Amino acid sequence: MTKSVVIPLPEASLHGDLTLPAKARGLVIFAHGSGSSRHSPRNRFVAEQINAAGLGTLLMDLLTQHEERVDDVTRELRFDIGLLARRVAQVVQWAKHQAELADARIGLFGSSTGAAAALVAAAESSDVAAVVSRGGRPDLAGDALPEVTCPTLLIVGGDDDVVIELNEGARARMVCPTELLIIPGATHLFEEAGTLAQVAELASAWFVRYLSETK
């Protein structure tokens, strides 16, 4: 079952799409990347696979409609990691206060700059049980990286050379259980045949492993 939700935060109200399979054991909150939104076909594809694995998903816009219009021109808000991370953390708290989600373990799935926002939020919240980054920029999480305590999976395309290096550097700064998996033949957006399906499979397995654990 999927329903539209409005998430009231101190500085903005964000729109999201919440999907909860029957007896969902956890919830994966998506932090989209630069210039994207909850309508991202790539994130929706991954979310469907996560739902099929028995976990709930929340795809949301990190920016308001007005902010998106501003960002389309200036392109600065998509790189405001502090703002994006604060909103991700606030959405985590919102979820914990919803009766239908109160007992769900929470994971974060971030892509591009959204991965940095997810990691900063995870560093600040003990309610985050796992993180997965797809073609992410975890390096932009900066000094928050050593503070992340939950298991983190970094997925990068094999032909995304610069981002591979950035992910390797970020992983070297992390002390939590961390894996870096490289998908051969994939570029930054995983548009090559079968590569996004591999992302979805890896992410689903990671979240099932860590969100299904008993509290």
| DSSP of the chain | -EEEEEEE-SS-EEEEEEE--TT--EEEEEE--TT--TT-HHHHHHHHHHHHTT-EEEEE-SS-HHHHHHHHHH--GGG-HHHHHHHHHHHHHHHHTSTTTTT-EEEEEEETHHHHHHHHHHHH-TTEEEEEEES--GGGGGGGGGG--S-EEEEEETT-HHHHHHHHHHHHH--SSEEEEEETT--TT--STTHHHHHHHHHHHHHHHHHSS--
What range defines the domain where residue 165 resides?
A: 2-211
Q: What is the pLDDT of residue 130?
A: 98
Q: What is the pLDDT of residue 79?
A: 79
Q: Which CATH number goes with the domain that contains 183?
A: 3.40.50.1820
What are the pLDDT tens digits along the chain (215 aa)? 789 999 999 988 999 999 999 888 899 999 986 656 687 888 999 999 999 999 999 999 888 888 888 878 877 777 789 999 999 999 999 999 999 998 899 999 999 999 999 999 999 999 999 999 999 999 999 999 999 999 999 999 999 999 999 999 999 999 999 999 999 999 998 999 999 999 999 999 999 999 987 55
Q: What is the pLDDT of residue 35?
A: 59
Count structural domains, the chain.
1
